[in-house]
Structures are given as structure tokens and as C-alpha cells.
Amino acid sequence: MDAYERITRNTSEVVTAEEVRALSESPEGKRAYVGYEPSGVLHIGHMLTANKLIDLQETGFEVVILLADVHAYLNDKGTFEEIRATAEKMKQQFIAYGLDDSKTQFVLGSEYQLDEEYVLDLHALELETTVARAQRAMAEIQRGEHAKVSQMVYPLMQALDIEYLDLDLAVGGLDQRKVHMLAREELPSVGYGSRPALHTPILADLTTGVGKMSSSEGVTISMEDSTEDLEEKVNSAYCPPTADPEPDDAGNERENPVLQIFQYHVFPRFEEVRVERPEKYGGDLEYAGYAALEADLESGELHPADAKGALATYLDELVAPGRELL
């Protein structure tokens, strides 16, 4: 796999392919980042972008994780005290999950976002951006129904982060795309360059396959789950024998979360995936890549129950180091 393929594998969107290709030609010393609001429990939805950071690290990028405490505060996630305690825990969990500590820079947003220069740039950006534009950028991130002024400031700060952290590449889930588009368009209006972005898919809700996996609603696989929790949750997950399920009765699009987790979490981290089965059901199956597993689930060769059993085992291996921090 060449550097460009490694950097862009398992992404939903590359903005733009030309710009990312140019970075992939000399990744040494280039800087990429993801920002996270420290709140709630870290779950595997967060870890999808962490896997992308691992890919970037392995191609030579320097990786920055922004623990966005001010953003979490602006988005009504708690007091600074609560948010900072979560940020510290989050940092330890990222390292436990497999990010190379010596090559990862962790930054707390408040370390630089309250500096005079940053705040004045923020005000300049406020002057350039319409309320409608900021609100659109926040539609998929905003907490609560009625947008607050703080939530309009939020995407402008996220745009400025890209400049202030001296980044070459912004990474985020697909829900961050409108903020990154705003950054690409508006940063030049305050005298800064625009940067490319990579967007990862959003994991679907585990039990329904509808909407996104979230820690405030539905069942999530968290970095604190016990082996038994994992078995139980995966066992009751939605897993039809297809990667492309029909919409539900209300017409909502659906994904197969079991296959998503195999594709975005298990295969990127394990060379070979083994599904154990008793001899009378055909014995063990081995997969060297995601596509073969998907094909077997679709053909009926691999039963959803056996796929779930294997998934719980691999997830347990991924979650175990973080669990030990508890």
C-alpha cells in the first residue's frame, strides 16, 4: 500500500485528492490533527479518527490531538473543571488504544485559544462570517435545539485552530465537513491559507443501524466496557446479512454496524481475522481483508452470529489496554 492509499483508506471524503496526494509525497514532518470535545465516555466512534491518526503516523506525519476544552464548554458539555478532568482521562485512553505517545502531541485548547492574538483573529473571522453560515457549519455538532451564540463562535474557533496549531491536514468524522469547508473558505479572508481535510465515516447506532453511534443516546461500545458488556452489546447488534440494508419503516437510511466495525476498527489493526466455528458448522474461517468477510456474510457462508462472536473477541483486545486504566 503506498502512502496515499494508506492515508486515504477507509475515508468517506478527501478534500481535495490533489492536495492530499501532494502531502503524501513527502509526509515527513507534516502535521495532521483531530480535535475532540472532552465529554462523556470515549467510545469507538471517537476511535475511528484515532485509527486514521495511526495510519498518518505510520506514513511519517506528526500527529496532534486537540483536547478541545473551550469548544466543549461552548457546546454546553459541562464546567471547565469537569471537562478538563475528562480531557486527561481521554489522553491516557488514546495512548492505550495505540497512538504512539512519543509521536503524538496533545494540546489543550485553552493553552492558546485565550491568547490575545487568537481572540482578535477570532473577532476578525466573526466579522467575515454570516450567522447562517456558522449555523449551517454547526448543524451536525450542536447540542440542544436552540442555537446559542457560543455555538456560532465554535466553528470559527475550529477554523482558526488549523492555523494556530500549524497544521497541514485536518481530520474529522463526516460530521465535521461543513466546519472544514468554512475554514477553507474563510481563513483566507483573514489572511491565512486553507488546508486539505480528510473525513472518516460515521459509525451507525449499534442496535438499529440508523443514525450515528452516540454516548448520549442508544448503545455504544465504550472504552470502558468489560468483556461481558462487549459480548452482550455485540450480540444484540443489528446485523442483517448485507452491507447495504434497506431503509427502515420510517424511510431512514440504515447501515450494518457490525460490518462497519470490522471494516474500520478490526481490519486496520489486525493482519488476519479468524472466526471460530465448531467443526460441525464448517470449522474456523480466516480473512486477510475486509472484502472477503463481507462477501461471506452476504453469501450466507458466514452466519451473523459467528461474525458477532468474532467481533466481540477482537473488540475486547482493542479495548482491554484502556480498560486497565480505570
Q: From the annotation, which residues make up the binding site for ATP? A: 215
Query: Does residue 241 contact residue 293 with C-beta atoms inside 8 Å?
Result: no
Count Cβ atoms below 10 Å from residue 223 Cβ, excluding itself. Answer: 25
Q: Which is nearer to ligand IYR, 170 or 315 (CB)?
A: 170
Rounded least distance, CB 42 to ligand IYR, Å? 12
Rounded least distance, CB 193 to ligand IYR, Å? 16
Residue 222, interface with ligand IYR (CB under 6 A)? no
Rounded least distance, CB 140 to ligand IYR, Å? 8
Q: Which of 55, 62, 121, 161: binder of ligand IYR (CB under 6 A)?
A: 161
User: What contacts 24+ positions apart, CB below 8 Å, involve 268-272?
Assistant: 268/9, 268/10, 268/51, 268/54, 268/55, 269/51, 269/98, 269/318, 270/314
Query: Does residue 194 contact residue 3 with C-beta atoms inside 8 Å?
Result: no
Residue 158, interface with ligand IYR (CB under 6 A)? yes
Q: Which is nearer to ligand IYR, 34 or 42 (CB)?
A: 34
The footprint of ligand IYR on this chain (CB under 6 A) covers a number of residues equal to 13
Residue 234, interface with ligand IYR (CB under 6 A)? no
* Of the candidates 246, 250, 228, the residue with the CA atom closest to the CA atom of residue 238: 246
Residue 104, interface with ligand IYR (CB under 6 A)? no
Residue with the three cell numbers 448503545: 219
Interface mask (CB under 6 A) for ligand IYR, residues 21-60, using x and -? -------------xxxx-----------------------
Q: Which is nearer to ligand IYR, 6 or 177 (CB)?
A: 177
Positions at the binding site: 33, 154, 158, 161, 176, 215
* Of the candidates 217, 194, 310, the residue with the CA atom closest to the CA atom of residue 259: 310
CA atoms within 13 A on the CB side of 181: 13
Residue 151, interface with ligand IYR (CB under 6 A)? no
Q: Is 95 exposed, middle or buried (0-12, 13-18, 19+ CB in 10 A)?
A: middle
User: Which residues form the interface with ligand IYR (CB under 6 A)?
Assistant: 34-37, 66, 68, 71, 141, 158, 161, 170, 172, 176
